[in-house]
Amino acid sequence: MNRFNPILIVSLISLMALVGCSKGEEPTAQTPPAGSSVSETSPSSTPATSPETSASPTATTKADTAVSPTANTDFKGLEGVVTNTKAAVEAGNFAKAKGEFDKFEDFWSKVEDGVKVKSPNAYKEIEDKSDELKAGLKASAPNKQKLLTALASLNKNVTSVAKP
């Protein structure tokens, strides 16, 4: 019984540490794409305090203006991510391009179900190009031309499904 107590204590502390770490890594703030304002791309102006808060997109409102649809904002975010990634690839800064493209999934996850219903072919193309770009940016020696071609195709597909 004496040997069981230290094991129980260590197990309990380990379990508490794991539970505390299991909330995931939710981004609290996002960098807006070039040429857009913070209110177009981030869910709120203050950091989220819980995963539930940051997972539900909300549009910011002003007393005199109408709220734009959230999907519109998410598509603009996708387009901004592609534009920023393309600029970084063109400059040969693949580390920055990877960092920019990592934001793609945040916006894509909010609209992908709608795209899948609206245009299954475009959905498949976007998924394929996204995977191709992730792999290309992780490579030890990224192929600039392949990445630019994939980004152009991705941008074309995102733009086509973003239209109402």
Describe the chain by its helix, strand, coil percentages, rounded to 5: 65, 0, 35
Whole-model pTM: value is: 0.54
pLDDT in tens, 97-115: 999 999 988 888 888 888 8
> What is the rounded distance in angstroms from the CA atom of residue 83 to the CA atom of residue 46?
26
Who's near 56: CB < 8 A, 6+ residues apart?
A: 43
pLDDT of residue 161: 85
Distance separating the N- and C-terminal Cα atoms of the chain? 69
pLDDT of residue 19: 66
Residue with the bigger pLDDT between 138 and 73: it is 138
Q: What value does the CA radius of gyration of the chain take, rounded to a whole number of Å?
A: 20
> What is the rounded distance in angstroms from the CA atom of residue 77 to the CA atom of residue 158?
11
> What is the rounded distance in angstroms from the CA atom of residue 65 to the CA atom of residue 61?
7
The set of long-range contacts for 83-91, using a CB threshold of 8 Å and a minimum separation of 24, is 83/33, 83/34, 83/155, 84/33, 84/34, 85/133, 85/151, 86/148, 86/151, 86/152, 86/155, 87/34, 89/142, 89/144, 89/147, 89/148, 89/151, 90/144, 90/148
Please report, rounded to a whole number, the percentage of residues in the chain having pLDDT higher than 90. Answer: 27
Average pLDDT estimate for 152-158: 90
